[in-house]
Amino acid sequence: METVIGVIGGSGVYDIEGLEDARWQAVEGPWGKPSDEILTGRLDGVRMAFLPRHGRGHVHSPSSVPYRANIDALKRLGVTDVVSVSACGSFREELAPGDFVVVDQFIDRTFAREKSFFGTGCVGHVSLAFPTCPRLSAACAEAGEAEGIRIHRGGTYLAMEGPQFSTLAESKLYRENWGCDVIGMTNMPEAKLAREAELCYASVAMITDYDSWHPHHGEVDIAAIIATLKCNADKARALVGRLPALLGASRGPCPHGCDRALDYAILTAPDKRDPALVAKLDAVAGRVL
């Protein structure tokens, strides 16, 4: 199978440099328009697809990002591996602004978003015990280390609804009682939808601040975040640039089963399935439907 790397760029990351045959193309599906056109091309012989999560010019808030349309569009382009890059706050002293964390767990506190491709007329339940792909995550960590980025392997990401930042009480709860490592607003339901679409998914959290818990840093400073974002964006592009060589132009089945997540997930009997919903699932779940 051909490797096709999809990159979802968060705040500050709006393109990929060095793509051959690069072009922005519109991809529409039954779940609506994605956040923006998708930049496609090749890097070191490997097909790439880049989608700015908030749209170029940052037009979507975390709550208005069309997550289902984004994942569906990447799947329609043949993407096999999705790398999410996003700005985050840190709950740990050792996870400093400018550091990257390759996330491997999530706590979802969002509440205003559609979180599944499945529903009435075609019910599906995927396993999310291990929501990221270890193989793809390891490649991201290796790429970051090769670029000299201070990168941490593993961490729990608290996904909040936003768009406001945390209160001090919330920040302390997530850090002290829940054991979270970073906080962001966009990796959920993205990771859930990627699993439903049988895509390998890795999350690279770019730390911009210490949220509001840190006694010596005070509340979140937007000006400081923007300055760190610019530096992090350059690091993120460098990390992504190393992935084609690490992943290769072809791949076998995911050793962790990400690409077979729907094998036993759909419970609705074939004769009871809603034809309209089944039609919308043509890209996401076509392999099993």
Q: What is the DSSP string of 23-41?
A: EEE---BTTB--SS-EEEE
Give dist(CA 200, CA 195) in Å, integer.
7
At residue 81, the 3 state secondary structure works out as strand
64 CB-near residues (< 8 Å, 6+ apart): none
Rg (CA), the chain: 18
pLDDT at residue 164 tops 60: yes
Catalytic residues: 209, 211
What's the pLDDT at 221?
Answer: 64
How confident is the model over 131-137, as a mean pLDDT? 98
pLDDT at residue 126 tops 60: yes
pLDDT at residue 219 tops 80: no
Question: Which of the four pLDDT bands, split at 50, 70 and 90, describes residue 220?
Answer: low
Residues 94-125 as b/e (b if ≥16 CB within 10 A, e otherwise) read ebebebbbbbbbbebbbeebebebbeeebebe
Assigned CATH class of 4-280 = alpha beta
Digit-coded pLDDT (tens) for 241-259: 999 999 999 999 999 999 9
